[in-house]
Amino acid sequence: MTENLNETTEVEETYEANEEGIAYSSESVPGADTPARPATIAPGAATGRRKEAVARVRIVPGTGQWTVNGRTLESYFPNKLHQQVVNEPFATLQLEGRFDVIARIHGGGITGQAGALRLGVARCLNAIDVETNRPSLKKAGLLTRDARVIERKKAGLKKARKAPQFSKR
């Protein structure tokens, strides 16, 4: 057993440095292969949808002001959860306060509208700088359209799946 340990340590020593005395490691430093590039600050526009809600979104370089249907973000989405949902693309890219957002939303409910706005903002950021922003947004799942919609009502049923009460006699 001790012979095997000695052999393995000898192998490790031979691979630590080359003939010139330079040590190499198989581990790479994060971000070493791609130089850090500042995010592009430019205007962009996109559309986001969720359930029945549709959001037309424009972002322009600014101070982080939100205008949703002519109102501020806090007055349109008083729930902090919805505010957090719509801010998620900026938080993912660490671009909070760098863009002003102008959005027109119609249809659906409040949660669907927040989801539509989030997708619209993410698509805007993606359109501005695909090389830098797309991998982070894609990994966070912010560029995926949520395809879940209300199931249609079927003939002979009361709702999409609810059947009339069964009576044996």
Least confident piece of the model among 30-34, 99-103, 151-155: 30-34
Span 5-26, pLDDT tens digits: 555 544 444 445 556 666 555 5
What is the rounded distance in angstroms from the CA atom of residue 77 to the CA atom of residue 113?
Answer: 9
Does the pLDDT at position 146 exceed 90? Answer: yes
Q: What does the alpha-carbon distance between residue 140 and residue 134 come to, in Å, rounded to a whole number?
A: 10
Q: What pLDDT, in 10s, does the model give residues 106-123?
A: 999 999 999 999 999 999
Q: Which fold has domain 44-139?
A: Ribosomal Protein S5; domain 2 (3.30.230)
The rounded distance, in Å, linking the Cα atoms of 104 and 67 is: 9
Contacts of 137 (CB under 8 A, 6+ apart): 89, 92, 93, 122, 125, 126, 143
Q: Mean pLDDT across the stretch 141-154?
A: 95
24/155 Cα distance (integer angstroms) = 70
For range 73-87, the mean pLDDT? 96
